[in-house]
Structure 1
Amino acid sequence: MKVIIVEDEKPAADRLQQMLADFPDVELLAVADTGEEAAREIDRLRPEVIFLDVQLPDLSGVDLLRLIEHQPQVIFTTAYDTYAVQAFELGAVDYLLKPFSRERLAEALERVRARLAAPENATRKLEQLLSQLAGRPPYLQRIPCRAGQKILILNADQILYFATENKLVFAHLADRRYCINYTLEELQHRLDPERFFRTHRTTIVNLDFVRSIEPWFGGTYRITLRDREGTQLPVSRNAARQLREKLGW
């Protein structure tokens, strides 16, 4: 069983590494302390299992899973309270509540062995469960994307708008755009609704960058952004009604 540890706290990583040494069928490939390093090592080494800390310095665990191409089996390590952690048992992934015992680790590894015999992609379940763990809407603060061999982290509050083009989704900043691995539907549910608004089936706009809103045609509106080009984006009739209520005009 080939394993990678993703843990930003060195004492916790060292302890887990020592405990895994007691299991002859476990081969530790690498230890990563950031999401960027973990994504690189996971895609390069292609482990069967990763031990994943829920919160990393640069990415959440779910965002890391979304970013990587190779999808291993996942055991979360977490310090969340017992009630929230029980949500993990509803899915196809195990958890370890820090600090955990060798016996609990052995149980988690046994569950993973069973999953390896009948693998499934549980990324969607992981996202739902992590939402329960947080106990609040998991608004995206940072959005990872690939740029060649690099992994870039986009700050959500610097993104002017998201738009689809040829079935791809792009995050538009002031100077350029980046292709990201989210659908608009996912972004609509994971971005802060006080800041981001779905103006059209093809567009989500950061309201902080809206300069003006004006009637267009057929009950639709048009938004002009505060960028250098004065980008204009459509607002559908349904979205226009919701936007009027939201902004109180």
Structure 2
Amino acid sequence: MIRAMIVEDEQPAADRLQTLLEEQDDLEVIGVYASGREAAEAIELLQPDLLFLDVQLSDISGLDVLKLISHKPAVVFTTAYDQYAIEAFELRAIDYLLKPFSRERLLEAVERVKEHVRDKEDSVHRLQELLANWQPQQPFLRRIPSKIGDRIYILNDDDIVYFGTENKLVFAHLTDKKYLINYTLEELQSRLDPEKFFRIHRSTIVNLNYVKTIESWFGGGYKMTVKDKANSELIISRAAGKQLRQKLGW
């Protein structure tokens, strides 16, 4: 339901406008005011969705009314003069009705307002969905703990050559040692810096800073040699190979 307010100092014009608006099932007239200053106070208090605003009022102009209020409803100006049209649209009026206007012209303005309200509601709904689904980005994983016996070793991500699975366990491989860690590869893939780490196989995530060579392998895949003491060779799946070629530009 659109809550509308009329600000019009000519009583016959106000009565006619109210009658025409009350024919609309989805529009409710919540107030009719002849004074611009009184209307400004009522707008702040009642916060209508829509304002039918005469430009020339007995105390202050309709344009001045808008400058007095912090609440910003949709506005349709009504006036017998067209010299205010440019300033009205600069104040983001939805429409500008020149008196005397027909019922059809008023309904056209009302339809524009309804479209404006629908667009606004859609924008709010989309924003609410985004906020509901938004989750703050976790910082990249930089330090990875590894518990061996009663000791906990803290591994720096820059020192890890690759992560690999063995018998469903995940190990962090350094240049000369490997450490058991309590992360799955899926967790690591989502938490590690993607500019540094890349999943080359369902069982391997490699630190790209330690890549030594890449060469073609069986079945359209590739084989990678890394810069550890053993010059370890790691298999790159065909799908990962295509992505890696795009990432590294080769």
User: TM-score, normalised on structure 1?
Assistant: 0.46
* Greater length-normalized contact order (CA 8 Å, ≥ 6 residues apart): 1
User: TM-score, normalised on structure 2?
Assistant: 0.46
Bigger-Rg structure (1/2): 2
